[in-house]
Amino acid sequence: MDRRHFLKQSTLASSLFFVPNFVKAFENMSATGLGYKRLVIIQLAGGNDGLNTIIPFNNDVYYRNRPTIGIQKSDLIKATDELGFHSNLLPLKELYDQGYLTIINNVGYPNPNRSHFRSTDIWQTASSSNQYLQTGWIGRYLDNYGNKSYNAIEIDDSLSLALKGQNINGIATKNPRVLFRTSQDPYFKNVLKHYQDEHLSEHNLGYLYKTMIAAESSAKYIFEKHKTARNKQEYPNNAFANQLKTTSKLINSGIETKVFYSSLGGFDTHAGQLNQQSRLLKIYAEGINAFVSDLKQQGTFNDTLILTFSEFGRRVKQNAANGTDHGAANNVFIIGNQLKTPGFFNDLSSLSNLDDNGDLKYTVDFRSIYATILSSWLSIDDKSILNKSFSKLDFI
**Residue numbers at the binding site for another protein (CB under 8 A):** 117-118, 121, 130, 132, 134, 149, 157-159, 161, 164, 169-173, 181-183, 185-188, 190-191, 193-196, 198-199, 203-205, 207-209, 211-212, 214-215, 218-219, 270-271, 320-321
Q: Which amino acid is at 93?
A: K
Smallest distance, Å, CB 198 to another protein?
8
Smallest distance, Å, CB 154 to another protein?
9
CA distance 279 to 103: 21
Smallest distance, Å, CB 298 to another protein?
27
Smallest distance, Å, CB 242 to another protein?
17
CB-nearer residue toward another protein: 60 or 157: 157
Smallest distance, Å, CB 360 to another protein?
21
CB-nearer residue toward another protein: 144 or 346: 144
Smallest distance, Å, CB 110 to another protein?
14
CB-nearer residue toward another protein: 170 or 313: 170
CB-nearer residue toward another protein: 220 or 296: 220
Smallest distance, Å, CB 390 to another protein?
22
Question: What is the three-state SS of 234-246?
Answer: CCCCCHHHHHHHH
CB-nearer residue toward another protein: 11 or 300: 11
CB-nearer residue toward another protein: 60 or 198: 198
CB-nearer residue toward another protein: 134 or 379: 134
Smallest distance, Å, CB 218 to another protein?
6
Nearest to 10 by CA among 19, 22, 2, 18: 22
CB-nearer residue toward another protein: 191 or 239: 191
